[in-house]
Amino acid sequence: MPYFDERIYNFSAGPAMMPERVLAEARADIWNFEGEGAGIMEISHRGGAFDEVIAQAEADCRTLAGLDDSWAVLFMPGGATMQFALIPMNFLPDGRHADFIDTGVWTRKAITEAKAVGSVHLAWDGKTGGYDHIPSPAELAPSADPVYTHYCSNNTIYGTQWAAPPELASPLVCDASSDIFSRPYDFDRHAIVFGGAQKNLGPAGSSLVLIRRDWLDRVARTLPAMLKYSEHAAAGSRFNTPPTFAIYLMGRTFRWILDEGGLVAMGERNVRKAALIYDALDAAAEFYRGVARRDCRSAMNITFRTPSEELDARFVAEALEGGMAGLAGHRSAGGMRASVYNAFPEDGCAELASFIEDFAQRFG
């Protein structure tokens, strides 16, 4: 396939690789969308052609997540960080509080934003453990009667992932930015699931928000219309001019996932891809150290270290020479991180696995 003569294996954590087919479709549609004589970015967000784009994107999203009409599907501007602020602004009234399960930098940021609006109870603090695992039910200390509990299904920076949503009585709010639609998931157990698009869905700067319609009537405080979920839902994600190209790309990505076999097939492939890399690391366990506890390992972000920072740097540099980019860990975690979201090809995982083996043989 000539594609990879021009393109590297991009292990970037986000913005990340998009499906090859989607990029090829977009290349054509930027120029002339379905015979309109204008590109997808140039047509009206209220015209008939875009009506179909957004309707199909929503329908395919519902099929993937198994969501009926009791859910609203919203395409919103701003990344996941915007949702960190909007959720408490919309739903956390004065005098009430929300629970947070702190599994890393992204939940920390959500906590900071929520505190700017209201009260927060920490149901678990993973910081003292170096964010190396997902809490067991016994480790959780939920408060009485929180408005909701916020957690992050996949911790992009540390490489830990919830196997299933936490078993809690309160409504769940899930930041699924880095693993949404990477596997079957129990969406129905949530009040809100949201994800910034840039990891598994599309381009940076936009978000997908799945929200129960009965939550849209809850009004914690007076807000400008642009910041209200109810307004975005009432306007069918077209309250103002929405990020049309991002919505188009998300739609094409949903369609690609469906054609690949849906979330079950995606999940199986992602487990297989991650296992290639984890198996190589485990086979050289005297050389490599994982960041995440074994039973909490992420299938999306694989985090590890060599015995020294010098060797870490060498690993990243040599891999880059071999056409494998984006392997340096996040600045707050160090070491290496291989991000292998849905669109990352299996061949690239095999290639990294053999590099991992080779590197340990040379420097171990």
Ligand X SMILES: *Cc1c(COP(=O)(O)O)cnc(C)c1O
Alpha-carbon span 138 to 71, nearest angstrom? 31
Q: Taking CB under 6 A as the rule, which mask of x and - marks residues 185-204 in contact with ligand X?
A: -----------x-xx----x
Query: Using alpha carbons only, how large is the chain's radius of gyration in Å?
Result: 21
Catalytic residue among 60, 99, 102, 106: 106
By CB under 6 A, residue 106 contacts ligand X: yes
Within residues 203-222, the interface with ligand X by CB under 6 A covers: 204
Cis bond leading into 15, ω under 30°? yes
Burial of residue 337, with CB atoms counted within 10 A of its CB: 0-12 exposed, 13-18 middle, 19 or more buried:
buried
| Helix pair angle (262-283, 346-363), 10° resolution | 10
Q: Cα dihedral angle (293, 298, 277, 349), rounded to 10 degrees? A: -170
Burial of residue 70, with CB atoms counted within 10 A of its CB: 0-12 exposed, 13-18 middle, 19 or more buried:
exposed
* Phi, psi (rounded to 5 degrees) for 75: -105, 120
Q: State yes or no: is 228 an active-site residue.
A: no
By CB under 6 A, residue 329 contacts ligand X: no
Q: State yes or no: is 5 an active-site residue.
A: no
By CB under 6 A, residue 172 contacts ligand X: no
* Phi, psi (rounded to 5 degrees) for 222: -75, 130
Q: State yes or no: is 106 an active-site residue.
A: yes
By CB under 6 A, residue 79 contacts ligand X: yes
10 vs 177, which CB is nearer to ligand X?
Answer: 177
> Binding residue for ligand X (CB under 6 A) from 9, 11, 14, 170?
14
Amino acid present at 116: A
210 vs 356, which CB is nearer to ligand X?
Answer: 210
79 vs 135, which CB is nearer to ligand X?
Answer: 79
12 vs 156, which CB is nearer to ligand X?
Answer: 156
Catalytic residue among 179, 199, 228, 273: 199
> Binding residue for ligand X (CB under 6 A) from 178, 270, 298, 306?
178
> Binding residue for ligand X (CB under 6 A) from 56, 81, 119, 143?
81
Binding site for ligand X (CB under 6 A): 14, 79-81, 106, 152, 156, 175, 177-178, 196, 198-199, 204
Which residues are catalytic, by number?
A: 106, 175, 199
